[in-house]
Amino acid sequence: MFDPDFGSNVRAFVVRMVIVAAFLLIVFKLWDLQLANKISYGKKSEQITTRVIIRQPLRGQIYDRNGNVMVENDPSYTISIIPHEFKRSQVAELAQLLQMDTLDIERRIKTGMEISPFFPVKLKRDIPFSALTTIEENLRQFSGVYFDIEPKRVYVGKARASHILGFTKEISENQLATMGDYYKPGDIVGYSGLEASYETILRGEKGYQFLAVNARGQVVGDFNNGKDDIASEDGSDLYLTIDEGLQAMAESLLVGRRGAVVALDPDNGAVLAMASAPDYDPSIFSGYTSREDWDRLNNDPDHPLFNRATLATLPPGSTFKMVLASAALQNDIVNDDWTIHCTGSFLYGGRIFKCHGAHGTVNIIEAIEKSCNVFFYNLMLKVGFDDWTKFGSLFGFGQKTGIDLKEENPGVLPSPEYFDRVYGKNKWTNGYLISLAIGQGEVSATPLQMAAYTMAISNYGKYFQPHLVNYIRDHRTGRIYYTRYSERQIPISKEVFDQLRQAMYLVVNGPGGTGHAAQIPGIEVAGKTGTAQNPRGKDHAWFIAFAPYDHPRIAICVMIENAGFGGAVAAPIAAKLIKYYLSEPAMSPQQNELNGAVAANAEIAN
Amino acid sequence: MFDFFKESFDLKLFLIAVALGILGAAVVFSATFNSGLHEYFVRDVIWQISGMVIALVIMFLSNRYLQSSAYFIYAITILLLVFILVAGKRVAGSTSWLGFFGIGGQPSEFAKVATILALSKFLSEKGNDLQEWQVVVLSTAIVGFPMLLTLAQPDLGTSIVYMAILFPILFWAGLQPVIVVALLAPIVVVIAEFTGTVPMIVTVVAFGILFLVLSQRKLFAVTLSFVIVSFGLFMEYFYKKLLAPHQQKRIQVFLNPNIDPQGAGYNALQARVAIGSGGIFGKGYLHGAQTQLRYVPAQWTDFIFTVIGEEFGFVGAVLTLLLFASLLFRGVRIAELVKTKFASLSAIGIVSVLLFHVFINIGMTINLAPIIGIPLPFVSYGGSSILSDWVMIGILLNFYANRKEH
């Protein structure tokens, strides 16, 4: 029964040796710590402890596609407090010196205490240089109150690009609870735009320096000769697809309006420009943000913080007609011999649906050119709801495009199931479809979706994931990481795309076209006007376009709120932007070099 | 009566344990001195005294009592572990706490003892020959079951302790060295992989050679080597490709807390500063600046050794270590003296669990071990821990008293 080896002398010896080894290891380590004086604790007689200084990394910079800096960092002055060293009786005096609310200081100390009484808590950041000297002189009467130099964002680009870049701000209590252990009260985080979506890449990693402090709270030197210190790692830089000049021009063309512009590169889905108006000055948030500034921006009835380009969902109006046309042509429901006679109105289910005029006999190409509603009312009834939804979905409607921003709305692409859900089964009739045929009613889309749709028509069905970041550059090593984006081919034949493109060409250049305002001498532009019916006020104007017609280099969507007919206001804006962009060299030499030569195999988890 | 004490009472073992208990109460008093938590000291003293009484009661249990009830005790603690998973209180993020009528307890502390007894009973039963692989698998299951339940609380620290039950007992029971090494190998390879690819390769090669040296059957050894190499490659793939950077980072912080100075690294650094500043003779009882200013968090529980290191210095720390070492050597001696296999295996299990606690707990304060929240036996504040330490002493006393019985 007994194993011959059970409890043998050899095994007992091994057990005893393991015990001895474990204890010797501990003794050697204790010797090292307590007697060998590897750690310098200052003078023997003093009770030494440590203080932690947090070294903030530099947040990554942001560049446009041509390597122009858009966002960089400047030093700013921050007052911090170490709760353990601070005498609570001095709160009132300190509040007076810093011109802060006593309760605000107490609240900040309290949240800091929950982390550790020995870690600095930021009290007030971005102190103006003028106030600095006064504060510095008086600071000596307080124990545990210190200065820090912290980087803050400065916006140096020609364009504001506030909705693309987004802003940084002191972390909220809510974010502290959800964003993980890295963040501590007083940290700066990206709140919106690229600053938020690329937060972990931009922010870098904090560093730590340990100081030896005596019982009176005086620093007596580096703790352990700096061996425990951890260097900070600066954040990586973002190189955008944005063309700063085009972006600046888009912003200037939107001044005084409410609306958005999105321009895409039809070769890859790169966002060339994305503007939303009204915008805001992101530098308001980079240092200390006053309550008034925040309230003013937040409560502005024009919602300047709201990125209309990706969040505003409006009925696309007539710009949506190519969806229905593609469904009809691809499924061979009609061809360009099929015509409708437009008398200016359409009677269905006892209701009269209007057209912009009496267009006479039109085929599908002319119907797009002249934006004839009656043609599309009839076509919708032939194509049917299911196929309309299916083709809308192929062009990316009703779903997010996946742009690298957190702020994005999917819009609404109605389907029979959707109507069943909203109105109840059998509670809706085909009459509801008539509005959808011309892009009105429940269907809605963002300017970004419209631009991507235009891109996909212009390039024969290649739907690239729209994106703002071209590549990421590691600040320390200089290595370049290309971001990867998806693409898909829309299953629609080349012949159908030829017809859609031809119709859009005629919108701008044909005799009956509605988009003549987008004509540019020397450049062949194709486009489509649209008007979103607005029950609460003047209609919203849409214009989508791409150019040059043969080999498109830009696909653009312009949306102006309450501007009425799309051809009048939106089309000229699109024309100016196209003209500007196409007059630029195709791609700057440095960009070509970067794209070709560097780190093609590099990738990043995104 | 006098004869009993002379013949059957392991006075030496008992006195060492009492000394550790007194040390523990004194250190808890110091750690809580300036925090106004005097009731901690009072409770600690109550637990130490109750523990001693319980130990003596266990000593007087009849010869075969522990062996015959081992499975029953094991079943009860397993039920309690399951129960707290369902209905336990959350303390510091894990549900290891069970409360009845205001009296709380951590069943996982007692489950360790129950597991030692159950595994020892299983391995001492007729026909359970470690040459058969089924016996090894069942032994692993006996330990693995409470281990997984503890892990689910989640209490990683206490669950790792079960490793310190399984391997030493199997080793003592006579499992071939090559199998012991083969069972340990994956754990070592995982840890090596987390520290780097090169350490992993070195470890895998070392194990391969060890298998060839230890095993008589060369084909078997080659198979084992192949398995461990494949395992190493899989871990490399798993760690580098399947884990997200933040998960890798969490493992790195676990193995080396110094890279997270605002989290675990803060405690670790402050603990080292406190111990280091103690010097040869320490700053004197109740005079440790780090201790009294509460620089080290949770100092009366997991980081209590910093108080000893700071206030009693190197000399005090080494004396404390000597107390623990003599306790453990006494335990090994009892494992040799007893006549039943059950008692011998249990004694080794108790020794290894105590050794593991001492090594990891002190190790994490001096940068020798990862920060695993397990208590220092007899010294850390905590009722379940102190009482289960005394239960283990009681079992050893019982074995000693019955050492001549078959």
pLDDT digits (tens, 9 = 90+) for B215-268: 888 888 888 888 888 888 888 888 777 776 666 776 777 777 766 666 667 777
* Residue in A2, A9, A11, A19 to test binding to B, most B beta-carbons within 10 Å: A19
Q: Which residue of A has its CA nearest to B281?
A: A34
pLDDT 10s digits, B43-78: 999 999 999 999 999 999 987 899 999 999 999 999
Q: How many residues does chain A have?
A: 606
Task: Tell me how far apart the alpha carbons of residues A399 and B35 are, in angstroms, rounded to a whole number.
Answer: 58
Hey, which bits of B328-391 come out as E strands? Answer: none
Asked if residue B252 belongs to a domain, the reply is yes
Q: Is A11 on the interface with B (CB under 8 A)?
A: yes
Looking at the domain assignment, is residue B406 inside a domain?
A: no
Yes or no, beta carbons of A215 and B341 under 8 Å apart: no
Question: What confidence score (pLDDT) does residue A589 get?
Answer: 42
Q: Using a CB-CB distance cutoff of 8 angstroms, which residues of chain B are in contact with residue A11?
A: 171-172, 174
DSSP A307: -
What type of residue is A218? Q
Cα–Cα distance, B83 to A544 (Å, whole number)? 65
Does A5 reach chain B within 8 Å, measured CB to CB? yes
Number of domains in chain B: 1
Strands A69-81 and B103-105, by their bridges, are unpaired
pLDDT at A33: 86
Write out chain B residues lying below 8 Å of A184, CB-based: 262
> What amino acid is encoded at A467 in this protein?
H
How far, in whole angstroms, is CA A88 from its chain's centroid?
Answer: 42
How far apart CA A366 and CA A359 sit, in angstroms, is 9
How many angstroms separate the CA atoms of B393 and B172, rounded?
20
| Nearest residue, CB atoms, A33 vs list B260, B290, B366 | B366
At A602 the pLDDT is 38
What percent of chain A lies above the pLDDT cut of 70?
91
Task: Please list, residue by residue across B85-106, b when 16 or more beta carbons sit within 10 angstroms of its beta carbon and e when fewer do.
Answer: eeebeeeeebbbbbeeeeeebb
* Cβ-Cβ contacts under 8 Å for A178 (sequence gap 6 or more): none
Residues of A within 8 A of B266 (CB-CB) are 52, 116
Q: Is residue B178 part of a domain?
A: yes
Other residues' Cβ atoms within 10 Å of the Cβ of residue A79: 24
| Residue A595 confidence (pLDDT) | 45
Q: In the numeric block, which tokens belong to residue A367?
A: 């119907």
Whether residues A39 and B276 touch (CB distance < 8 A) is answered with yes
Domain of residue B129: give its range.
2-401
**What integer is the mean pLDDT of A18-44?**
79
Tens of pLDDT, residue by residue over A416-431, are 999 999 888 888 888 7
> Which pLDDT does position B133 carry in this prediction?
85
Q: Residue A42: is its pLDDT beyond 60?
A: no
Q: Answer whether 0.80 is exceeded by the pTM.
A: no
Chain A residue with the nearest C-alpha to that of B282: A34
pLDDT band at A512 (very low <50, low <70, confident <90, very high): confident
pLDDT higher than threshold 50 for residue A320: yes
Q: What share of chain A is helix, strand, coil (3-state, %, to 5)?
A: 40, 20, 40
Angle, helices A9-30 vs B341-365, to 10°: value is 20
User: What is the phi/psi pair of residue A541, to 5°?
Assistant: -100, 135
CA atoms of A40 and B273, how far apart (whole Å): 10
Rounded Cα–Cα distance for residues A250 and A546 (Å): 16
CA distance A362 to A373: 11
Greater model confidence, B355 or A593: B355
Structure tokens at B131: 């040459």
pLDDT of residue B154: 75
Contact A34 B335 (CB under 8 A): no
The answer to whether the beta carbons of residues A267 and A459 sit under 8 Å apart is: yes
- Chain B residue numbers with beta carbons less than 8 Å from the beta carbon of A2 are 174, 341
Q: Could you tell me which of A461, A454, A442, A446 has the C-alpha nearest to residue A402? A: A446
Residue A64 is predicted with a pLDDT of: 94
Find the mean pLDDT for residues A8-17: 91
Answer for the pair B400, B392: CB distance below 8 angstroms, yes or no.
no
Q: Tell if the CB–CB gap between A116 and B266 is shorter than 8 Å.
A: yes
Q: Which of A7, A52, A116 lies nearest to residue B335, judging by beta carbons? A: A7
Please tell me which residue, A289 or B214, carries the higher pLDDT value.
Answer: B214
Low-confidence ranges of chain B (pLDDT < 50): 92, 100-103
Closest CA relative to residue A153, chosen from A230, A231, A235, A208: A235
Choose from B273, B286, B350 for mutation: most chain A CBs within 10 A.
Answer: B273
Which residues 164-193 of chain A have a CB within 8 Å of chain B? 180-181, 184
How many contacts, defined by CB atoms under 8 Å, are there between A and B? 142
Higher pLDDT, A577 or A5: A577
Question: Once rounded to an integer, what is the mean pLDDT over residues A516-521?
Answer: 92
Residues of A within 8 A of B295 (CB-CB) are: 49, 118
Q: Choosing among B163, B167, B328, which should be mutated to test the A contact, i.e. which has the most A CBs within 10 A?
A: B328
For A546, phi then psi, to 5°, come to -140, 155
Q: Closest by alpha carbon to B274, among B321, B315, B325, B310?
A: B310
List chain B residues with CB under 8 Å of A603. none
Residue A517 pLDDT > 70: yes
CA distances from B271 to A20, A218, B252, B278, B316 (A): 24, 21, 19, 11, 16
pLDDT of residue A505: 96
Tell me which residue of A87, A88, A43, A54 sits closest to A215, measured CA to CA: A43
Chain B residues lying within 8 Å of A50, measured CB to CB: 269-270, 273
Work out the mean pLDDT of chain A and round it to a whole number. Answer: 86
